[in-house]
Amino acid sequence: MKFYIVDVFTQEKYAGNQLAVFIEKGVLSTQQMQKIAKEINYSETTFITSTDIREGGYDVRIFTPEQELPFAGHPTLGTAYILQKEIIKLAVNQILLNLQVGQIPVTLHYLNDSVAELWMQQKPPSYHQTFAADALAQVLNLDSTEIDARYPIQEVSTGIPFIIVPLKTHSSLKRIKINRDKYFELVSHTKAKAILVFCPETNKSEDDLSVRVFADAVGVPEDPATGSANGCLAGYLVKYAYFGADSVDLRVEQGYEIGRPSLLLLKAQQTNTEIEVFVGGSVVMVASGEFI
């Protein structure tokens, strides 16, 4: 069974978020896919379950080391990259992925006949319960005054829910040490099992926000680049006019604290009926091989 390893949300190897993509063509059971995802032990592993087009798209399943996901960001872009490069082998402008959450379109941009950037449109964000600053401060091992009280701590979803936490400073973001007992206590009562924390200070002057994502409940203590979570963040930023406007066009850093610097591109805007969310980035091929 052929597989590929790519790094997503980076323009160079050995940065961004690792992804293994298998072309399995319907030969594996769900249990076997889960075991392989555990063996790979990346944040996510994907399986292209058919190279035939169905309803205009390709059937894909996504697994963390612990469970299957209905949607995830960097697996969507990384899998679309492999589909274009290894299956389609033509410069198509869009690829549709049939995921459990529904059909997700990925738009491809080229430079010198190679894919330079990929963008996915996520589902319109939905907004759910809010949380007290004290509760999240205990989980993050921070003082509650380090959380930006001008904005809510809220569960947001564009397919997978995340708890969005606004901080004031980069210093606070870098000092986070998850209290696992408090974390698991919190997520035992929430639909969201992961937390995105962000601040308006960055490592690089050309970037707009710094982000960290914690998802130990699904086998990922800290994720280096999380497209699904950043899509939720984009919707949150527009809803609460974080930048004073009803649209955003941003460069977001993630993964610096765990040695996997990543760059995610976010675009979102309020239309007459909903908030449209787009997340983009680059993908780099690292390896290919065969499972035996």
Handedness of CA 93, 122, 47, 14 (dihedral sign): positive
Instruction: Say which residue the tokens 């978020």 belong to.
Output: 17
CA-nearest of 80, 85, 41, 45 to 61 is 45
Distance, CA of 152 to CA of 229 (rounded, Å) = 16
- Spot the catalytic one: 12, 24, 39, 44: 44
State the Cα–Cα distance between residues 118 and 267, nearest whole angstrom. 13
Reported residue count of the chain is 292
Residue 135 exposed, middle or buried by CB count within 10 Å (0-12, 13-18, 19+) = middle
| Angle (nearest 5°) at CA 92 between 55 and 116 | 125
Gap between the Cα atoms of 23 and 3, Å rounded: 6
Give CA–CA dist 172/185, Å, rounded: 22
In Å, how far are 11, 40, 177 from 174, measured between CA atoms? 24, 28, 9
24: annotated active-site residue: no
Structure tokens at 149: 């009280």
Question: What are the tokens at 264?
Answer: 């995610």
Contact in structure between 286 and 16 (CB atoms under 8 Å): no
Q: Which of the residues are catalytic?
A: 44
